[in-house]
Chain A
Amino acid sequence: MTLPDDKELESILGDGVDLNTFKQILEMDEPGDNEFSTSIVFGFFEQAEETFESMNTALNEKDLDKLSELGHFLKGSSATLGLIKVRDGCEKIQRYGKQENLDGSPEPDTNVCLERVKEALTAVKSDYEEVEVGLKKFYDKDDEEEEGA
């Protein structure tokens, strides 16, 4: 498949995706198919949903360390794909889990931190769903194109 231009990509994926980074993934595909990037993207979906589950669990258990760790984990893969809103959300969770404010200053109140994680998690889920729709649309469209072709 030929790479769609930036405007088209942006219209499909929305502003939650850093195009340069995502294109780097797309460029790793063999010419003519997008198996690799599909597996990465759908692998990420799986990973993200699992992580959100784990985060819910940790939130219920008030395990801030675990939350920070999970935030860091998902931040890494979302950053790799260029899903910047998800990445930023995850970083927030990582920081709050470390009992830090966004500027790095310490926040000793565990409850405040838990509350903020909860808010951040909600926000990151919504951001995630948005890019998930966009990405699925992107790959569906490709499929259609290929079928049509």
Chain B
Amino acid sequence: MKDLALHILDILQNSVTAGATLVKLQIEEIPSKDEYLVKLIDNGKGMDAEMVQQVTDPFFTTRTTRKVGLGLPLLKQNAERTGGSMTIQSEPGKGTEVDVKFIFSHIDRLPTGDISGTLALTVSSYPAIDFIYTHNTPDGTFIFDTFEIKETLGDLPINNPQVIAFMKDLISDNLKEIKAS
């Protein structure tokens, strides 16, 4: 993966496949502690302890179309390359939380990439799922909540091309405002 946004696009699919109805993505930039934290929390079907152990194994996947599953292993590798880490907590029936820590100043920390595009595409592909995205920087906080968007839209579908374009602009504009890296 070339950037963090692509990783997020990839990992969000896990939550979708797990049948989540609410997915939270939190990004926290803490330059003072030299940390860049990414958190994904869903209310999907969760995993038992054994499966949590296995998911970072590249040869583990729940798919039947192929024998490898590289989403989480690649993300873990990229986090560890910066001296950071990835931890997964999950409980069957409750949901899953993936915590990724990158070292902020490390040269190998992936560029953030097109977060706004990633969110807009995912949100529009799964109209039945709600997403809450929070981005924290020392300059402020931005919250993107699909509850609000859907409420404003009424019966206009969230996958209308112009709504997708709007969501992209909304996110990228506000991220610029809080000086997201």
Q: A and B: real partners?
A: no
Please give the residue numbers on chain B whose beta carbons come within 8 Å of chain A beta carbons, in ascending order.
none
Please give the residue numbers on chain A whose beta carbons come within 8 Å of chain B beta carbons, in ascending order.
none
